[in-house]
Structure 1
Amino acid sequence: MDVVVLIGRVLFVVLFFGSAVGHFTQTEAMTGYAQSRGVPAPKAGVLAAGVLMVLGAVSVLLGIWADLGALLLVIVLLPTAFLMHRFWSETDPETKQGEMIHFNKDLALAGASLMLFAFFAHVDELGLTITGPLFHLG
């Protein structure tokens, strides 16, 4: 069972590492997009999101306070969904559909991250982790 959970953690964080790389290698392009969406301090937001994704993904992957790492991912995902992917304000059907897909993906990943938080904070023996949870749910 421990190996299955580890494989799941690896598969889960691949997306966040890839996205974080984009935040750091394509900062200017992402900043322009964030600015076009009305995000305050767009460059700082892009870089902060990249840092939170790396920290959260490393935490979940290695099992270093993985519950906290899962919460860091939620902190990135929810604002991204509502600030960057406002499909309801789009008029072009193709753009609207693309933004809706991204919005729903971010919501689904936030839900999965919340479940991981609860899992890590509730299970006493996590197996194949470096530390135990930071939070303890009954």
Structure 2
Amino acid sequence: MSLVRRIARPMLAAMFVVGGLDQLKHPGAKAKAARPVLDQAPRVGLPDDPELLVRANGVAMVGGGALLATGHVPRLASTVLAGTLVPTTLAAHPFWNESDPQARAKQKIQFLKNLGLLGGLLLAAVDTDGKPSLAWRARRVGESAQRTVHTTKREARHAAKAARREARLKAAQAQNALS
């Protein structure tokens, strides 16, 4: 792992670990903020208890943050954290609902901060740590298989051509022996 990744991953993860622990310890205020978002969200089989959902989000944040910080499954951890950040941002920083210009500006800054964190998480989610991605490896296997097929066909053509030549030579030798 490079030095930049070793430093940057814990820095990115710290906000989620701290925020997740806060959600676990004090879900009440966040549950109030989450209620309007939950009311607007389509029902996908989630419980109707905002405190439980806030705590579950906190667990995901702490777990994903710890995994990202330690460099264990960082792509999966970043994806999980990105998933936790979207509802958190929508519930906690709805600047478009603020009428007071100062409060609106403050919420907008927090919203944009979270948007920047989301960008960092998306970059971390696609970072292969200098190793080829699965898609690249799959393409290479496919290309290798195509080269093998092409080479095998070419060698078969050469072998068939050599066999025909050898057969003509043997036939000519047989004919000369009879004459």
TM-score, reference length from structure 2: 0.63
Q: CA offset at residue 68 of structure 1? A: 0.3
State the match for 2:131 in structure 1: 124
Helix, strand or coil for the counterpart of 2:56? helix
Asked if structure 2 preserves the Cα contact closer than 8 Å seen for 1:52 and 1:76, the reply is yes
State the match for 1:104 in structure 2: 112
Q: CA offset at residue 112 of structure 1? A: 0.5
More helix by share: 2
Larger radius of gyration: 2
Matches within 5 A, 1:53-132: 53-120=61-128, 123-124=130-131
State the match for 2:144 in structure 1: none
Q: CA offset at residue 58 of structure 1? A: 1.5
Helix, strand or coil for the counterpart of 2:131? coil
Asked if structure 2 preserves the Cα contact closer than 8 Å seen for 1:55 and 1:72, the reply is no
State the match for 1:30 in structure 2: 30
Helix, strand or coil for the counterpart of 1:51? helix
Partners of 1:106 and 1:65 in 2: CA distance: 22
State the match for 1:21 in structure 2: 21
Helix, strand or coil for the counterpart of 1:39? helix
Partners of 2:91 and 2:59 in 1: CA distance: 18
Helix, strand or coil for the counterpart of 2:37? coil
Q: Structure 1: any 5+ residue segments left out of the alignment?
A: 126-134
Partners of 1:86 and 1:137 in 2: CA distance: 38
Aligned-partner residue type, residue 9 of structure 1 = R
Q: CA offset at residue 66 of structure 1? A: 0.8
Structure 1 residues 66 and 137, CA, compared in 2 at 3 Å: closer, same or farther? farther
Sequence identity percentage? 28
Q: Structure 2: any 5+ residue segments left out of the alignment?
A: 39-48, 137-179
Matches within 5 A, 1:34-45: 34-35=34-35, 38-40=36-38, 41-45=49-53
Q: CA offset at residue 91 of structure 1? A: 0.5
| Bigger Cα displacement from structure 2, 46-55 vs 74-83 | 74-83
TM-score, reference length from structure 1: 0.80
Q: RCO greater where, 1 or 2, for CA within 8 Å and sep 6 or more? A: 1
Partners of 2:90 and 2:32 in 1: CA distance: 17
Partners of 1:47 and 1:101 in 2: CA distance: 25
Partners of 1:137 and 1:97 in 2: CA distance: 42
Asked if structure 1 preserves the Cα contact closer than 8 Å seen for 2:18 and 2:62, the reply is no
Structure 1 residues 15 and 112, CA, compared in 2 at 3 Å: closer, same or farther? same
